[in-house]
Amino acid sequence: MRHNFVNDIGDYAKYAVLRTLCTAGGMPIRLGVIWYLTEHAEDNGDGRRRPHLSQEGWDALDPELLAKMRDIENGLRGPDDLHLRLIERSTILPSTTVYFSEAIPRAAGTARQRLDARAAWFARAKESMADCNLVFVDPDNGLEVRSVSASSPLASKYVTVAEIAALISGGAGVVLYQHGSRLAWETQRERIYSTLSTGISSSLRIRTVRFGAFGVRSFFCISVDSELTDGIQAALDTLRERVASWDRSHYLMVE
């Protein structure tokens, strides 16, 4: 996650999913958000896709959410005002939501120093989530990949299987943000399923939401608790029903 992503169309999908999970599953949810914030500058166009803020026809996904996002946008003096605190101070997510906003340590020093700094950072993040039963993790790219080691300067773009396992072992369900790759969706989904199932000893239940407007983003809802699993399923079924007659429903795939 980076500050310049705030309010883009990926945010619209992200918060629509989280809001549905928090309110439509029939069980009390205390949401936690670990932003996996990276503060390095990038010159690509990520975070600048914002058709939902100025064009008609996007309301069906979550009209109340869209109104709140447009209010935020209307209050900006310019792109430099974009910051995660705009979300944290808003009513977009429930008032009880816990945010961990500390940036991932910059990729400096030796490989050992980078590993130690990341471990200490995650320990603080996990501790802040102690009272949450659902944790959203929001890395730039998604789940770790073999080509980027845990000590790589690029590791800040990924969440590790070990980090997800640690959150699950603490009793929480996890929602993982995953940026779309060049692989076919079915191939990417199965790779992530396999990586998670192989790396985590618990028996996992995983549901996915894929949002394909202006780039592909997906959300992996991972749980081991049967009550939470049922709640996630009920919430995602509600989301699917809500957009069934939307003329852009093809953008949203719930599996």
Domain count, the chain: 1
pLDDT band at 147 (very low <50, low <70, confident <90, very high): very high
Whether the per-residue pLDDT at 45 is higher than 80: the answer is no
Mean pLDDT of 222-239: 95
pLDDT digits (tens, 9 = 90+) for 188-201: 999 999 999 999 98
Strand intervals (E) in 78-213: 98-100, 134-137, 142-143, 158-159, 173-179, 205-211
pLDDT band at 42 (very low <50, low <70, confident <90, very high): low
pLDDT score, position 52: 93
Nearest residue to 168 (alpha-carbon basis) of 138, 193, 198, 133: 133
pLDDT score, position 143: 97
The phi-psi region of residue 33 (left if phi > 0; otherwise alpha if psi is between -120 and 50; otherwise beta) is beta
For residue 217, list its beta bridge partners. Answer: 179, 211
pLDDT band at 182 (very low <50, low <70, confident <90, very high): confident
pLDDT score, position 201: 82
pLDDT digits (tens, 9 = 90+) for 99-132: 999 999 987 788 999 999 999 999 999 999 999 9
Range of the domain at 203: 3-254
Mean pLDDT of 195-210: 93
Give the DSSP per-residue string, 187-200.
Answer: HHHHHHHHHHHHH-
Whether the per-residue pLDDT at 40 is higher than 80: the answer is no
Q: Which range, 44-48, 90-94, 102-106, 201-205, is most confident?
A: 90-94
pLDDT band at 43 (very low <50, low <70, confident <90, very high): low
CATH number, domain with residue 47: 3.40.50
Whether the per-residue pLDDT at 183 is higher than 70: the answer is yes
pLDDT score, position 44: 52
Nearest residue to 139 (alpha-carbon basis) of 118, 155, 117, 119: 155
Residues of the chain with pLDDT > 90: what percent? 76
Average pLDDT value for the chain: 92
Residues of the chain with pLDDT > 70: what percent? 96
Q: How far apart are CA 224 and CA 35, in angstroms?
A: 22
pLDDT band at 47 (very low <50, low <70, confident <90, very high): low
